[in-house]
Structure 1
Amino acid sequence: MNSALSRTADVLDRERSFTRFASHELRTPAAVIQAGLERIEAHASADQARPIERAHRGLRDMHALIDTFLQLSSDSAKQAVPSLVVVDSAWVTSLFHHVAGGHADHALTIDQRAPLMLAAPETMVHVLVANLLKNALFHGGPEAIEVVISAEAVAVRNAIPEERPAPGFGLGCQIAHRICERFGWRFSLVMRDGWAVARVTSAAGDQGALIEASSWRI
């Protein structure tokens, strides 16, 4: 038993070390890209403004993801800049348009019963919900993405396409699971009857209440 526990601890330590080292190494190319982008921007024409802004947005997302991975690999992540993030319909709508890119015309419906308050660094909550939306957007079907927000949880529902999911399916959910694990929240992913529901429930939330209140019956 002790040997098995020791091996498990070693695996976790190696995983944390790899994540930490990889994230640190990514900071250098990100900084190089930032500097190059600023030089391009200084001589850009007016019609290049939108592509450059998209590049800046992607770079900000990269920095947020690097910071998230570094925090997840650190034992002190729980103490990192706590704040109260309000997840409501306006916040989710803004985030959806941010991550959608060329899919911004994809239908999105939001049912907000109450705003969700999450005590965590804002970048972590941003990465958490963004990954759920991106997973639904890029790996789901053409049907509308549905989001339900309550005082206890946020859930994202999307159709499952008939064809095999594109490469990368589920990686966003794995990241979401790790973030939830770190902050004592609950993450669940249910696939049934052609639909997938990814749900994040706060530490004080009752997951069953959201399921019963929802017309999804999942």
Structure 2
Amino acid sequence: MDWAGDTLMKLEAQALLRQSLREGGAQQTSDGYLSLYQSWAAVPEQVRSQFGSEPARDGEVLEAVVRNAGEEAFLYLLPFQTETGERRYLLSRHNRADIETLGEEFFSAALMHSLLTTLAVFGLLFALFFWLIRRATQPIAQLSAWAQTLGTRARVDAPHFEIEELNQLAQRMQEGVSRIEAFNEREKQFLKHASHEMRTPLAIIQASLDTLELQTGEAGKASLRRAQLAGANMALLSSALLWLARESPQALKRERVTLDTFFQAIIEDHRYLLTGRDVAVRLELSSDIIKIKKSLLHIVSANLVRNAFQHSSEGEIVVITDSEGLRLTNPINPEDADANVEGFGLGLELVRRICDKLQWRFSVDLTGDGAQVNVIWSPTSHS
């Protein structure tokens, strides 16, 4: 408000100065509200007494308050120099009531304009900030979108970023994924070759065992039977490993399986593991018929039954089957719980991987005195 008032007085001073020149340089020129004096001596005495001695600085508005008949008024005095270097004095007089009224109006208008200006500035700042944030995060979003293609067939070369650190990060990510893929490929090839190499000696062993069965009497047939069972399981295991590695030349077929007959055969094949031990087996087998990948079901079931028989303590093993899945429980000694878990080894990992690939639900729960294994085959595997 002070700046606006000072500027207005300077403009009025120029206007009155031109008017004074037109009037021939009168000692006082007035428009009713403002008066222009040619010298300090021309200023009325009562005004000079309010400001004291002659002002030393030009261009600075001086203010004084006068009282007359109980009314207050403001005097504003502006000393300035003309273009010719002559000094002039502009005097303005206003009542307090007029100043307060105009001041309130001016303040309200200034406040409204300031508010609008502030909102506009903040709007521009917000837009600028939003643009900067988007510009800063866009490379991150590009990097994230590109990273999602790593390890897939849709993988492309890393885009070039303006930020060099992002280029370095993308390169490290690509190198890391390449190393992992190379490692997985080596393991896959090893699994493939190992499974293929197993097939020939397994076939020779199986043929030799069949020949020995014909040449051996009844006393040795039980041992030969277990050896033949082990060979058959190894052949199934080899097929399963190739299937897990996706190297099998043909997909495993679904076959019709009668659950009680299927699981009774598995139980009998592994019952020799309980010889000389006080362990009973209780079977609750359903007679349902399901259509499922029989070889994989045999590997899963045989591994779980064999582990239960091997690591069971004295008590009762319970095998329950129905059209939805298998549940097997066996007692364990709490002191040997950790050993029992470790005893699953490759068998448990193979079962887990087969179930994951077939989308079967598989879980192992250990309690203080027993272990429970659940396998729920996917409903889509039913006929």
**TM-score category, normalised to shorter length:** 0.7 to 0.9
Question: Among residues 318, 321, 339, which one is paired with 1:165 in the alignment?
Answer: 339
Partners of 1:109 and 1:144 within 8 A in 2: yes
Supply the AA of the counterpart residue of 1:169.
Answer: F
The 3-state SS of whatever aligns with 1:193 is coil
How many residue pairs are counted as aligned between the two chains?
A: 203
The 3-state SS of whatever aligns with 2:379 is coil
Name the counterpart of 2:318.
Answer: 146
The 3-state SS of whatever aligns with 1:79 is coil
Shift of 1:42: 4.5
Partners of 2:191 and 2:245 within 8 A in 1: yes
Query: 1:78 & 1:150 partners in 2: Cα distance?
Result: 29
What are the ranges of 5 or more consecutive residues in structure 1 without an aligned counterpart? Answer: 206-218
- Cα 1:37–1:90 shift into 2, 3 Å: closer
Partners of 2:242 and 2:248 within 8 A in 1: no
- Cα 1:183–1:42 shift into 2, 3 Å: same
The 3-state SS of whatever aligns with 1:144 is strand
- Cα 1:90–1:46 shift into 2, 3 Å: closer
Question: Among residues 178, 195, 200, which one is paired with 2:370 in the alignment?
Answer: 195
Residue 304 of structure 2 corresponds to residue 137 of structure 1: no
Query: 1:85 & 1:42 partners in 2: Cα distance?
Result: 30
Question: Among residues 268, 282, 286, which one is paired with 1:97 in the alignment?
Answer: 268
Name the counterpart of 1:30.
Answer: 202
Shift of 1:52: 2.2
Query: 2:261 & 2:371 partners in 1: Cα distance?
Result: 23
- Cα 1:35–1:92 shift into 2, 3 Å: closer
Shift of 1:54: 2.5
Query: 1:69 & 1:39 partners in 2: Cα distance?
Result: 28
Shift of 1:157: 0.9
Question: Among residues 221, 234, 241, which one is paired with 1:49 in the alignment?
Answer: 221
The 3-state SS of whatever aligns with 2:374 is strand
Supply the AA of the counterpart residue of 1:201.
Answer: I
Partners of 1:115 and 1:149 within 8 A in 2: no
What are the ranges of 5 or more consecutive residues in structure 2 without an aligned counterpart? Answer: 1-146, 151-172
Partners of 1:145 and 1:157 within 8 A in 2: yes
- Cα 1:94–1:40 shift into 2, 3 Å: closer
Residues 168-191 of structure 1: per-residue CA shift (max 9 Å, x gap): 434322111111112111111111
Question: Among residues 10, 15, 26, which one is paired with 2:187 in the alignment?
Answer: 15
Query: 1:159 & 1:33 partners in 2: Cα distance?
Result: 35
Residues 120-170 of structure 1: per-residue CA shift (max 9 Å, x gap): 1x2111111111111111122222111222332211111222335266434
TM-score, scaled to structure 2: 0.47
- Cα 1:116–1:9 shift into 2, 3 Å: farther
The 3-state SS of whatever aligns with 1:85 is strand
**1:168-183 maps to which residues of 2 (within 5 A)?**
168-183=343-358
Name the counterpart of 1:115.
Answer: 288
Partners of 1:116 and 1:149 within 8 A in 2: no
Supply the AA of the counterpart residue of 1:182.
Answer: K
Query: Comparing 159-168 with 95-104, which one deviates more in the overlay?
Result: 159-168
Identity of aligned residues (%): 27
- Cα 1:142–1:17 shift into 2, 3 Å: farther
- Cα 1:194–1:46 shift into 2, 3 Å: closer
Query: 1:145 & 1:118 partners in 2: Cα distance?
Result: 27
Query: 1:203 & 1:7 partners in 2: Cα distance?
Result: 34
Larger of the two Rg values belongs to structure: 2
Query: 1:28 & 1:141 partners in 2: Cα distance?
Result: 38
Query: Comparing 173-182 with 105-114, which one deviates more in the overlay?
Result: 105-114
Supply the AA of the counterpart residue of 2:371.
Answer: A
Shift of 1:92: 1.6
| Alpha-carbon RMSD | 2.8
The 3-state SS of whatever aligns with 2:339 is coil
Shift of 1:102: 4.1
Name the counterpart of 1:210.
Answer: none
